[in-house]
Amino acid sequence: MSVLVGDETRLVVQGITGSEGKFHAERMQEYGTNVVAGVTPGRGGDEVLGVPVYDTVKEAVREEDANASAVFVPPAFAGDAVMESLDADIELCVAITEGIPTHDMVRVNRRLDEVDTRLVGPNCPGVITPGEAKIGIMPGNIFDSGNVGLVSRSGTLTYQLVDSLGRRGVGQSTVIGIGGDPIIGTSFIDSVRAFENDEDTDVIALVGEIGGSDEERAAEWIDENVTKPVVGFIAGRTAPPGKRMGHAGAIVSGSGTGTAESKMEALRDAGVRVAETPAGVADEIDDLL
């Protein structure tokens, strides 16, 4: 069983006629993802990479039975592109775009409460079930099929951890990059819940960073609900308060929450094995398997 994406995924790429959309659509096709359509308003009737282009996501869902979308649309228009997927009742929308205005994401999150669509992102590397399908920009060649479910706010740290796992012969069931913006769709809790319920996941890895309180909330949920072993890592221990570090959400306000120390303490209190480095996460996981 896969989490979020798999052999059953039928993907529509929003923005497929743009350079980024086309490039990554081709990489997803090469990996084995079933890309069934593209969407670019005004380009309906065209064909890109052997798939038809439609003016709207609703048309792609109706004509090609698409059940997932990937958003490669410029920031000023990406919020509307996500809303279009939500209005089309698509099952999964993965928003890769970075820099979507916060007020657009507030509007999107309000709409999420009214639909059944799962949003991953924005500003994320995507989702991959190794050997089956990927949606997003993750380099598929570094992933191997296995039994570790990984959720991360950082794409770079994801790749580093996956490489460390691969060197130990450890593969992944599914990897979810939730994104580092202040307002996102799928949270750590959502992802951990999915891995807890996934029969192919034996160990859960959680890679967080400074800023916000998502990791602390996840720690509380893990303590009360998770039976599988969890290994964690928090990036940004040396970041000074008030300074943004990389992601828009990676900023410590100085209120005593959101620091690497507070997150690590919360995770340890929940029984999570917290490593000091990404390689240490791989060591902890290897020890558990």
- 19 labeled binding residue: yes
Amino acid at 112: L
Whether residue 59 is annotated as binding a ligand: the answer is no
18 has binding-site annotation: yes
Residue 96 in marked binding region = yes
- Tell whether 159 is in a known binding site: yes
Secondary structure (DSSP) of the chain: --SS-STT-EEEEETTTSHHHHHHHHHHHHHT-EEEEEE-TT-TT-EETTEEEESSHHHHHHHH---EEEE---HHHHHHHHHHHHHTT-SEEEE--S---HHHHHHHHHHHTTS-PEEE-SS--EEEETTTEEEES--GGG--EEEEEEEES-HHHHHHHHHHHHHTT--EEEEEE--SSSS-SS-HHHHHHHHHT-TT--EEEEEEESSSSHHHHHHHHHHHH--S-EEEEEE-TTPPTT---SSTT----SSSSSSHHHHHHHHHHTT-EE-SSHHHHHHHHHHH-
Question: Annotated catalytic residue: which of 10, 134, 247, 263?
Answer: 247
Determine whether 24 is an active site residue. Answer: no
261 is in an annotated binding site: no
199 labeled binding residue: no
Binding site membership for substrate: which residues? 159
Binding site membership for CoA: which residues? 17-20, 96-98
Binding site membership: which residues? 17-20, 96-98, 159
Catalytic residue annotation: 247
